[in-house]
A = this chain, B = another copy of it.
Amino acid sequence: LDDEDTDRVYDLVEGLHPADIADLFELFDERERLTLAGAIRDLMGSEVIAELNDWVREALMEALPADVVAEIAEQLDTDDAVAMLEDLDEADQQAVLAEMEPEDRAAIESALSYPEESAGRLMSRELVAVHESMTVGDLIDFLREHRELPTEFWEVFIVDPMHRPIGTCSLSWILRTPRNIPLYDVMARDQTLIPADMDQEEVALRFQKYALISAAVVDPAGRLIGQITVDDIVHIIQEEAGEDALLLSGAGDGDINEPILLTVRARLTWLVVNLATAMLAASVVGLFQGAIAKFALLAVLMPIVSGMGGNAGTQTLAVAVRAIATNQLTDSNTVRMILREFRIALANGFALGLLIGVGTWLIFSNPLLGAVIASAMVINNLVAGLMGILVPVTLDKFNVDPAVSSAVFVTTATDTMGFFSFLGLAVVVGLA
């Protein structure tokens, strides 16, 4: 690629799967990506575009004229076209839509009218829906005759005259059933219907829980308007589940293809909030400056108490956030989980307190100092365990995403209480 040996690049790329070509793009930097796109122009089919990382795709799309983007969008399924266009800014989006065929444009505009990250954006309008009066034979003939139907589908939806879904038929049942049997004898009547405005995280949990391959999306009147298939959901599950670690650390969406200025802004915002809480914790230490000046060893040991509290709090927090995200922690078992974390914190606090207490006593030949740090360790572990679960549960009650904002509260608590309990106890027992 560096030598601009276009033919050789083309030959190398030609045999690859679209998903692999998309990956290849992500490995290069921005300048090289444009060169590569130029070299393999006619291999850049809609499948490759659909597989690209959001940021990489957005940058490529912005470099292309609106009519080319419109042409690509028309080749894609509605859901992929929406994913591509929703990232563009308003003006570019309008320019592209203006270049599209009226029918495709209407489908995309209607999808864009649903909130971001909702089922309405995810769904594809291409589906097979038939009436229950059909027999298996009718259905097979219908499928063979209608060439315009989608090529890949896994279930057929059965609808009533109002176009409301009343059942689904897995293709394997259809294949195994004699031609003369009516579909209403084959179809499954209980199905998971997805309202178009349902959040994608909730959709993903449904797919996972009920092991769905595809599901009908309905409008508020209960009419079938689209389907969501599991291959689209797999990406969502990956994203939503992996997001927690990034959100807990304040790393924004953590995408390594995000423009660097956006990354700096996202991370810096979080760091500045943490700076404020660090200063709060420091002001607690400030209260004890006199004691520290008299007995500087306190300053040496105090970060151990606060740091260990922070670690224990982070553990509890990670578990609680995950349990809330997967609907495992709900109102009915919150009290049990709080008690569970309390017992764990007590056990860990005593074990760590004993270890550091005896260690301090032996190293500095000061049993009183050992007792103080051991007690502070127990107290701070309890603070960590309780805050680690109470903060995310409370935030969740107020509909705030616990992964985004819990960590600040928990580390503020463990830092300030760590310093306060250790230095306070030291002063009370007369160590300084």
Question: Which residues of the partner chain B approach A348 to less than 8 Å between Cβ atoms?
Answer: 264, 267-268, 271
Please, how many residues of chain A have a CB less than 8 angstroms from a CB on the other chain?
123
Query: Whole-angstrom distance from the CB of A84 to the nearest CB of chain B?
Result: 16
Question: Which residues of the partner chain B approach A316 to less than 8 Å between Cβ atoms?
Answer: 251
- Taking CB as reference atom, which chain B residue is nearest A28? B333
Among the stretches A36-44, A107-115, A280-288, the one at the interface with B is A280-288
Question: 1/0 per position for A245-281, CB-CB distance to B under 8 A?
Answer: 1101111001011001001100110111011001101
Task: Given A270-B311, A326-B242, A344-B263, answer yes or no on A235-B208 (Cβ-Cβ < 8 Å).
Answer: yes
Query: Do A213 and B231 touch (CB < 8 A)?
Result: yes
Q: Which residues of A126-159 are within 8 A (CB) of B?
A: 139-140, 143-144, 149-154
Query: Do A231 and B256 touch (CB < 8 A)?
Result: no
A431 within 8 A of B: no
Q: Which residues of A211-232 are within 8 A (CB) of B?
A: 211-213, 230-231
Query: Do B355 and A251 touch (CB < 8 A)?
Result: no
A325 within 8 A of B: yes
Task: Given A234-B208, A300-B286, A315-B251, answer yes or no on A154-B213 (Cβ-Cβ < 8 Å).
Answer: yes
Q: Which of B139, B174, B238, B275 contacts A241 (CB 8 A)?
A: B238
Query: Do A245 and B318 touch (CB < 8 A)?
Result: yes
Query: Do B178 and A144 touch (CB < 8 A)?
Result: yes
A172 within 8 A of B: yes
Q: What are 30 A-B pairs with beta-carbon distances under 8 A?
A: A17-B190, A17-B210, A23-B209, A53-B328, A154-B172, A208-B235, A213-B213, A230-B230, A233-B234, A234-B234, A241-B242, A242-B242, A242-B325, A246-B318, A249-B318, A250-B314, A251-B316, A251-B319, A254-B323, A256-B328, A256-B337, A263-B344, A264-B344, A264-B347, A264-B348, A278-B308, A289-B296, A289-B299, A292-B299, A303-B303
Q: Which residues of A contact B (CB under 8 A)?
A: 17, 19, 23, 26-29, 51, 53, 139-140, 143-144, 149-154, 170-178, 190, 207-213, 230-231, 233-235, 237-238, 241-242, 244-246, 248-251, 254, 256-257, 260, 263-264, 267-268, 270-272, 274-275, 278-279, 281-283, 285-286, 289-290, 292-294, 296-304, 306-308, 311-312, 314-319, 321-323, 325-330, 332-333, 336-337, 340, 343-344, 347-348, 351-352, 355-356, 359, 411, 415, 419
Given contacts A27-B332, A268-B347, 4 further A-B contacts (CB under 8 A): A213-B213, A254-B319, A271-B308, A292-B292
